[in-house]
């Protein structure tokens, strides 16, 4: 099968790149999806002539590929309405300065496109942020104008960024996710319509964020098949807990009292068999990138097991119909 299995590096940001490469190879991966907050410094890529060659040499030393980088934290700062949590995503000198954080994020996303091109990568995964996420529940009353204005702001903020992405031949793969402007089927459809299905904007398809909301992950993949530019393999498990609701109860990830938790791939309720069949039908040949998030499992054990699981279900499509031998003549 031509699809490689990669590991998203963001959840391993405490491990230096070379050590992570060594571990990833031991665990069985073909490559890494490098996170800009962890293992790929955009500014160094642009201003230090030795930096990108060093990244490439380190990957090559362990026979690993990089087909995408992730800039989720930066993108969040573009479209969000500020609160103190964004201070963790931006340079510390900008803490408490909403306008400056947004300005930095816009410039940094533009620079990320150039950095990706220098690395030889044509996909940047990420978030857009959302100025209206706090208004998802319609009380106090949320007017249509508030929603329209929120989508329009995202359009205005991201159009100049996408223009720069086009200049460098890079595509932006949005991860549909709660707290983003597109978090389910209808908001994703609305966003694509808003941008007139601009080729620059596609999806980093992550089924885990759909399942706990009650959105059919396989139908979503089928509907937006042509827009899937990258795939995150991440699982979520739904629990039968009569005391818990899907909103999380302010309980931390991993707490078994929750109604759902992200779990290592293969331990949850995501229909990966159905997803692989949809990806095969769509002709998707990009990476299957394990985004490992499981607070209830040892990280090294989980990363290795997840790689083996993804390989086991990464089956190719058939070139014949199963009943073709029954044909006469």
What is the tens place of the pLDDT at every residue in 174-200? 999 999 999 999 999 999 999 999 999
pLDDT score of 236 more than 90: yes
Q: Which of 60, 72, 2 is nearest to 32 (CA)?
A: 60
Mean pLDDT of the 82-88 span: 96
pTM above 0.95, yes or no: yes
In this prediction, residue 327 has a pLDDT band, given cuts at 50, 70 and 90, of confident
In this prediction, residue 324 has a pLDDT band, given cuts at 50, 70 and 90, of confident
The tokens 């030795």 sit on which residue?
A: 50
pLDDT score of 101 more than 70: yes
Write down the pLDDT at residue 257. Answer: 95
Write down the pLDDT at residue 319. Answer: 82
Write down the pLDDT at residue 240. Answer: 85
Question: Parallel, antiparallel, or unpaired: how do β-strands 235-238 and 228-233 relate?
Answer: unpaired
pLDDT score of 201 more than 60: yes
pLDDT score of 104 more than 60: yes
- For the chain, list the domains and their CATH numbers: 5-319 (3.20.20.150)
Q: Which residue has the higher pLDDT, 254 or 2?
A: 254
Q: Each residue of 21-51: pLDDT tens digit?
A: 999 999 999 999 999 999 999 999 999 999 9
Write down the pLDDT at residue 326. Answer: 72
Write down the pLDDT at residue 316. Answer: 92
Distance, in Å, from the CA atom of 33 to the CA atom of 123, rounded to the nearest integer, reads 10
Q: What is the 3-state secondary structure (H, E, C) of the chain?
A: CCCCEEEEHHHHCCCCHHHHHHHHHHHCCCEEEEECCCCCCHHHHHHCCCHHHHHHHHHHHCCCECCCEECHHHHHHHHCCCCHHHHHCCCHHHCCCHHHHHHHHHHHHHHHHHHHHHHCCCEEEECCCCCCHHHCCCCCCCCHHHHHHHHHHHHHHHHHHHHHHHHHCCEEEECCCCCCCCCCHHHHHHHHHHCCCCCCEEEEECCHHHHCCCCCHHHHHHHCHHHEEEEEECEEEECCCCCCCCCCCCCCCCCCCCCEEEECCCCCCCCHHHHHHHHHHHCCCCCEEECCCCCCCCHHHHHHHHHHHHHHHCCCCCCCCCCHHHCCC
Write down the pLDDT at residue 1. Answer: 54
Residues 311/5, Cβ–Cβ less than 8 Å: yes
Q: What mean pLDDT value characterizes the chain?
A: 96
pLDDT score of 329 more than 70: no
Q: Partners of 34 in the beta sheet?
A: 69
Q: Each residue of 147-158: pLDDT tens digit?
A: 999 999 999 999
């Amino acid at each position: 099968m031509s699809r490689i299995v990669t590991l998203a590096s963001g959840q391993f940001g405490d491990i230096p790149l070379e050590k992570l490469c060594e571990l990833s190879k031991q665990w069985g991966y073909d490559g890494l999806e490098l996170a800009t907050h962890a293992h790929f410094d955009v500014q160094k890529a642009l201003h230090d002539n030795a930096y990108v060659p060093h990244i490439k040499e380190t990957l090559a030393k362990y026979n690993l590929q990089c087909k995408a980088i992730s800039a989720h934290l930066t993108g969040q700062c573009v479209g969000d309405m500020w609160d103190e949590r964004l201070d963790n995503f931006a340079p510390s000198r900008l803490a408490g300065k909403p306008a400056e954080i947004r300005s930095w994020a816009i410039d940094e996303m533009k620079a990320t496109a150039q950095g990706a091109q220098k690395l030889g990568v044509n996909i940047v995964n990420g978030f857009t942020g959302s100025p209206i996420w706090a208004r998802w529940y319609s009380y106090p009353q949320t007017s249509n104008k508030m929603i329209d204005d929120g989508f329009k702001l995202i359009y205005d903020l991201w159009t100049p960024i996408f223009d720069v992405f086009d200049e460098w031949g890079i595509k932006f793969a949005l991860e549909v996710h709660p707290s983003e402007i597109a978090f389910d089927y209808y908001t994703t459809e609305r966003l694509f319509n808003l941008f007139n299905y601009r080729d620059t904007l596609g999806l980093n398809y992550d089924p885990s964020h759909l399942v706990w909301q009650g959105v059919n992950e396989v139908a979503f993949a089928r509907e937006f098949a042509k827009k899937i530019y990258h795939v995150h393999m991440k699982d979520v498990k739904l629990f039968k807990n009569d005391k818990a609701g899907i909103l999380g109860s302010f309980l931390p990830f991993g707490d078994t009292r929750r109604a759902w938790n992200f779990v290592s791939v293969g331990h949850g309720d995501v229909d990966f068999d159905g997803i692989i069949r949809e990806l095969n039908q769509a002709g998707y040949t990009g990476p299957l990138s394990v985004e490992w998030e499981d607070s209830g499992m040892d990280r090294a054990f989980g990363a290795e097991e997840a790689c083996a699981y993804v390989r086991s279900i990464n089956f190719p499509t058939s070139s014949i119909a199963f009943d073709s031998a029954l044909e006469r003549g």
